[in-house]
Structure 1
Amino acid sequence: MHAATALAAIAPSFILILIGVVLRRGEWLDSGFWKGAEKLTHWLFFPAYLVHTIATAGTMGSTAKSTVLILGAVTLVITLGVLLGCRYLRVVHATFTSIMQGSVRFNSFIFLSVASQLLTPEDYGVAAVVVAYMVAISNTVVLLAFGSRDGSVWGIVLKVCLNPLILASGAGLALNLSGVLLPQALAQPLSALGAPALPLSLICVGAALQIPSGEFARLCKTGLLTASIRLGLFPLLAYALVSAWPVPPLVATLVLLYSVAPCASNSYVLATQYGGDHRLMAFVVAVSTVLSFVPMFLLAGSLSVMAVP
């Protein structure tokens, strides 16, 4: 049962990545299609997904607030660690941004897929709220990393504030906090436009999995290191925090579920749009998706033994 839960969460993403590989290798589509798909995802599909998801996530209760505070703290620690480590090793900026994305961003589709199978409908609603806020937080962190090359504080702030993902997250949060409901005439188009964001991102990841022989060693070394931060260090820090402080069982469950989710699929699209190391990013998304089966399997097993209220 534990393996089935983990596999059910990961299999759709893995299949979409394979579809991308087949489409690109078989040259079923013109090469120009992929750049157009990446731009559409970044400028239209994913912003629509963010506005709709965050705006309709529900109110932020004490459980969601505690979860977001803990995950925000872990994200901050990981962010500082990656920043200092990359500066010490003199990692080039493009590679640094991809390492940052791979370390702190999460696949909300897989997170919610596992949560839907392990939690009650009421608790799943809390998980949706957590996703809404952590998407906004993690996107802000990585966009600051992309902008850090400019040097000017105002340049970084302006670049982040004008980013479509931040604008969409801000609009969604404003609607969520104000309690204003999206009218159906707007909610339905946003939902329809947001639907292709995650699957198309994963298909683009598969299409980008073309590793030149001269870069294989570098991508494997850096990619596996990044995946180990996302699926190893992040869960360890998360477990340490929920063990050190008395938190409700649901908070601990959500924190740990989030910590074992692989890297967000649209990280690759963001890398292509802002000059990141897109080959490394595609590798990290694909590898972390596959490797996340192990911690998800273990966590699903432990949660099924523990009675989560």
Structure 2
Amino acid sequence: MHVGTALAAIAPSFILILVGVLVRRCGWVDNGFWAGAEKLTHWVFFPAYLVHTIGSAGAMGSAARATVLVLGGVTLLITAGVVLGCRYRRVLHATFTSIMQGSVRFNSFIFLGVASQLLSPEDYGVAAVVVAYMVAISNTVVLLAFGNRGGSTWAVLLKVCLNPLILASGLGLALNLSAVSLPAALGQPLQALGAPALPLSLICVGAALQFPRAEFARLCKTGLLTAGIRLCLFPLLAYGLISTWSVPPLAATLVLLYSVLPCASNSYVLATQQGGDHRLMAFVVAVSTVLSFVPIFLVAGSL
């Protein structure tokens, strides 16, 4: 049962990555298609997905609030560690941003897939609320990392605030907090536009899995380290916090499920659009997706 749960969680993402590999290798589309697909995902599909997902999430109850507080705390701890470690090692800015994305962003598609199999419909609704808020938090953290290349603080903040993902997250949160429902004439087009965001991101990841031989060792070393932060260090910190603090049982379950998720598929697209190390990002998304089978299986078995 738990093996089936873990396989069902990661299989769709893994298959979509393989589709991207096959389409690129077989040359079924022109090479120029991929740049257009990445740009369309970044500027249209993913913002629409964020507005619809966050805006239509339910109200934040006590369990969702406790979950977001714990996960937000772990995210900030991981962020501080990555910043200090990369500065100490004098890591290039592009590589730093990909390490940051791989360490703190999460695959909401897999999270909701696992939650739908393990939780009741009521508890699944709480999981959807957690996704909405953690998407906004994690996106803000990584976009601040992208902007932290130089210039004044105000210039960095302005650049982050004008990013389409932040604008979409802000609009979604405003709709969520105000309990305003979008009319069907707007909600349905947003839902339709957001639907391709996650699968197309994963297909683009597969298409990008072409590494020059000279870079392979670097990508493996840095990529596996980043995946280790996401799949080992994040769960350990999360478990330590829920063991120390008194949190509702549902919150503890959601924290554990979140902590073992692979990196978000859209991280690759964000890296291409914001000047990150896109080859490293593609490697991290792919390898963390495959390796996440083990921790997802262990968490599913413990619930």
The aligned counterpart of 1:62 is 62
| Deviation digits for residues 158-206 of structure 1 (CA, Å, limit 9, x no counterpart) | 0100000000000000000001011000000000000000000000000
1:235-289 CA-partner distances (Å, limit 9, x unpaired)? 0000000011121110000000000010000000000001000000000000000
Distance, in Å, in 1 between the alignment partners of 2:286 and 2:191 is 26
Deviation at 1:37, TM superposition (A): 0.1
Question: 1:198-236 CA distances to partner (integer Å, 9 max, x unpaired)?
Answer: 000000000000011000100000000000000000000
**Equivalent residue, structure 2, for 1:110:** 110
Residue identity (%): 83
Equivalent residue number for residue 307 of structure 1: none
Q: Which residue of 2 aligns with 1:152?
A: 152
Q: Which runs of 5+ in 2 are unaligned?
A: none
Q: Does 1:195 align with 2:205?
A: no
Residue identity in the other structure for 2:233: L
Unmatched segments (≥5 aa) in structure 1:
304-309
Check the 8 A contact 2:263/2:284 in 1, yes or no. Answer: yes
Is 1:302 aligned to residue 302 of structure 2? yes
What residue is the counterpart of 1:280 in the other structure?
280
Aligned to 2:266: 266
**1:30-83 superposed Cα distances (whole Å, 9 cap, x missing partner):** 000000000000000000000000000110111101100000000000000000
Q: Equivalents in 2 of 1:298, 1:151: separation in Å?
A: 45
The corresponding residue for 2:254 is 254
Counterpart-to-counterpart distance in 2, 1:246 and 1:147 = 36
TM-superposed CA distance for 1:151, in Å, is 3.2
The one-letter code of the counterpart of 2:260 is: V
Partner of 2:13: 13
* AA matched with 1:35: A
RMSD (CA atoms): 0.4
> Normalising by the residue count of structure 1, what TM-score does the alignment of the two structures yield?
0.98
Q: Which one-letter code corresponds to 2:278 in the other structure? A: H
1:40 matched to 2:40: yes
Counterpart in the other structure of 1:293: 293
1:233 aligns with 233
SS of residue matched to 2:211: coil
Size of the aligned set, in residue pairs, is 303
Alignment check: 8 A CA contact 2:209 2:282 kept: yes
The answer for the alignment partner of 1:306 in structure 2 is none
Deviating 4+ runs (over 2 angstroms): none
C-alpha displacement at 1:12, in angstroms? Answer: 0.2
Q: Decide whether the 8 Å contact of 2:66 with 2:248 is kept in 1.
A: no
For 1:223, the equivalent position in structure 2 comes to 223
* 8 Å contact from structure 2 (residues 19, 206) kept in 1: yes
